[in-house]
């Protein structure tokens, strides 16, 4: 559970997006957070305090004067609630509440405890597109950011008023991802990370091709973990339907050559290159422009194969290469093949696993191979493993800087 032991205060202001906060609170608790909800009077026009109490498992605070059915030991909820939380999440954050917070106003429980806080403030705006665009709102947002608040969203899309544009509150899953990321150690802050993920597809004809069983899950997990760690992340993804991690720039490619072109166009501005993608070693030398037909008594076409570019070797051979991390999915003699591949590619770190156990799975056992030997990471969820790998990368980068 990514938020185990965290004390979160969720402050709800008025807006139709309050219905999304019901799901957010449920998800926060699933991740181990202890959630206390504070609602403004306007928020209670959309969702009841009874609903939020059932979802959070705690009494809901609605009144600065202790008349809300919830109490704290010292009868000063605006002080006690602000002090006992690890962070305050305002969702939805209305234009009015954003303005009040930017101006330092405190005329109800939620605005008062925000003013009295000594913990981080995380804001998820939700409002009409014109309200969001209004110069006054933009000034207020700039002030909040200058004061140290973090902004999650808004998103663009259809709105309850019938208009379309920026102003929608992020979906619960997106907000959860942002909140989890906020609490992760910023081990790669300021670093630029380039990750490849998924399979490649080498066309035989317009409808067939050579590919593999890579799902892309490990590469996408690494992109997310690097972004959580504070890095600026670019993800070059082969054919996969996986959703892009929050805050990650994604470049979709199909073939190994397209992946190579994308990587080489970005690598000069990269500090860390993580080659997770299962790149096809060969492509069809002569791709048919029409579908190859199966005909009786005619042998199948003989496919002439040509080698694909070695993306990792090309990057590692650059005059000033980034810190390179290789991946190796092997079916047998995993450690021996991994050690040989690391030496052949000339990279400082290689991550190996057993292909038949890892492809498509949500967890895996990994082996880290470097000049010192082999370290095994016991089987765990791929996001957990990705965070471990990010920590290993950060440790090695720090060691390089001290040499």
pLDDT score of 68: 57
More confident residue, 191 or 65: 191
Cis? peptide before 99, omega within 30° of 0: no
pLDDT digits (tens, 9 = 90+) for 248-277: 999 999 999 999 999 999 999 999 999 999
111-128 residue pLDDT tens: 999 999 999 999 999 999
Give the CATH number for residue 152: 3.40.50.1950
Residue-level pLDDT at 144:
97
Residue 211 lies in a domain: yes
Mapped onto helix, strand or coil, the DSSP state of residue 43 is helix
What is the reported pLDDT for 120? 96
Q: What's residue 167's pLDDT?
A: 92
| 265: number of Cβ within 10 Å | 11
Q: pLDDT digit string (tens) for 59-102?
A: 999 887 765 555 555 556 667 787 789 999 999 999 999 999 99
Q: Give me the residue label for tokens 């029409």.
A: 290
**Domain termination residue (choose one: 138, 156, 183):** 183
Residue found by looking up tokens 């490849």 in the block = 196
Closest CA to 281 of 256, 315, 252: 256
82 and 228 housed in the same domain: no
The SS3 call for residue 395 is helix
- The answer on 196 and 126 residing in a single domain is no
The phi, psi pair for 88, rounded to 5°, reads -110, 125
List 275's β-bridge partners, or say none: 196, 326
Indicate if 229 and 321 belong to the same structural domain: yes
Token pair for residue 125? 């705006």
Active site residue 339: no
Residue range 25-44, pLDDT digits in tens: 999 999 999 999 999 999 99
pLDDT of residue 334: 87
Do residues 178 and 248 share a domain? no
Domain shared by 177 and 74, yes or no: yes
Which among 244, 250, 230 is positioned nearest to 150, based on CA atoms? 230
Same-domain pairing of 140 and 216: no
Those residues whose C-beta lies under 8 Å from the C-beta of residue 341, and which sit 6 or more positions away, are 326, 328, 350, 352
Check whether residue 211 and residue 156 sit in a common domain: no
Query: In this prediction, what percent of the chain has a pLDDT beyond 70?
Result: 96
Residue 201 is predicted with a pLDDT of 96
Number of domains in the chain: 2
156 in the same domain as 232: no
Report if residue 2 sits inside a domain.
Answer: no
Please indicate, yes or no, whether residues 179 and 196 belong to a single structural domain of this protein.
no
Confidence label for 354 from pLDDT (cuts 50, 70 and 90)? confident
Predicted pLDDT of residue 164: 84
Q: Answer whether residue 138 is part of any domain.
A: yes
* 141 and 220 inside one domain: no
Residue 241 lies in domain: 192-402
| Rounded Cα gap, residues 218 and 209, in angstroms | 23
DSSP SS3 for 368: strand
Provide mean pLDDT across the span 280-287.
93
User: Which residues partner with 375 through β-bridges?
Assistant: 368
Which of 183, 205, 231 finishes a domain? 183
From residue 82, alpha-carbon distances to 33, 139, 175, 236, 253 in Å are 16, 25, 21, 42, 47
In this structure, the answer to whether residues 124 and 31 fall within a common structural domain is yes
Mean pLDDT score of the chain: 92
Nearest to 307 by CA among 369, 381, 257: 257
Among 130, 152, 183, residue at a domain's last position: 183
Is 200 in the same domain as 172?
no
Give Rg (Cα) of the chain: 25
The CATH number that applies at residue 221 is: 3.40.50.10300
pTM of the model: 0.89
Exposure class string for 321-334: b at 16+ Cβ within 10 A, else e:
bbbbbbbbbbeeeb
**What integer is the mean pLDDT of 146-162?**
90
Residue-wise pLDDT for 196-249, tens only, equals 999 999 999 999 999 998 999 999 999 999 999 999 999 999 999 999 999 999
Q: Is residue 1 part of a domain?
A: no
Catalytic option among 22, 161, 324, 339: 161
């Amino acid at each position: 559970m990514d938020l185990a032991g965290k004390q979160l205060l969720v402050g709800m202001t008025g807006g139709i997006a309050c219905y999304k906060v019901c799901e957010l609170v449920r998800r926060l608790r699933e991740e181990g957070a202890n959630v206390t909800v504070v609602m403004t009077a306007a928020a209670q026009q959309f969702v009841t305090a009874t609903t939020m109490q059932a979802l959070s498992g705690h009494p809901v605070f609605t009144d600065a004067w202790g008349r809300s059915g919830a109490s704290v030991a010292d009868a000063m909820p605006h002080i006690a609630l602000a002090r006992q939380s690890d962070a305050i999440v305002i969702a939805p954050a209305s234009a009015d509440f954003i303005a009040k917070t930017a101006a330092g106003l405190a005329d109800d429980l939620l605005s008062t405890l925000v003013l009295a806080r000594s913990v981080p403030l995380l804001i998820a705006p939700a409002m009409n597109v014109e309200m969001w665009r209004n110069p006054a709102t933009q000034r207020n947002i700039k002030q909040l950011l200058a004061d140290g608040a973090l902004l999650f969203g808004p998103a663009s899309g259809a709105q309850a008023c019938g208009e379309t544009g920026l102003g929608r509150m992020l979906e619960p899953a997106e907000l959860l991802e942002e909140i989890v990321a906020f609490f992760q150690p910023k081990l790669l802050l300021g670093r630029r990370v380039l990750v490849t993920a998924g399979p490649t597809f080498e066309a035989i004809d317009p409808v067939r091709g050579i590919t593999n069983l890579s799902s892309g899950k490990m590469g996408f997990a690494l992109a997310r973990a690097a972004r959580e760690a504070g890095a600026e992340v670019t993800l070059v993804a082969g054919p996969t339907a996986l959703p892009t991690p929050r805050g990650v720039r994604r470049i979709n490619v199909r073939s190994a050559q397209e992946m190579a072109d994308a990587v080489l166009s970005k690598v000069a501005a990269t500090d860390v290159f993580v080659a997770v993608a299962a790149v096809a070693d060969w492509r069809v030398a002569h791709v048919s422009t029409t579908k190859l037909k199966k005909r009786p008594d005619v042998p199948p076409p003989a496919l002439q194969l040509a080698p694909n570019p070695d993306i990792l070797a090309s990057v590692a051979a650059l005059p000033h290469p980034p810190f390179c991390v290789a991946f190796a999915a092997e079916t047998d003699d995993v450690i021996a093949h991994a050690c040989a591949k690391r030496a052949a590619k000339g990279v400082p770190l290689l991550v190996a696993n057993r292909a038949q156990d890892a492809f498509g799975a949500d967890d895996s056992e990994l082996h880290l191979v470097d000049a010192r030997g082999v370290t095994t990471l016991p089987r765990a969820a791929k996001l957990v493993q990705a965070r471990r790998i990010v920590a290993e990368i950060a440790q090695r980068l720090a060691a390089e800087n001290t040499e």
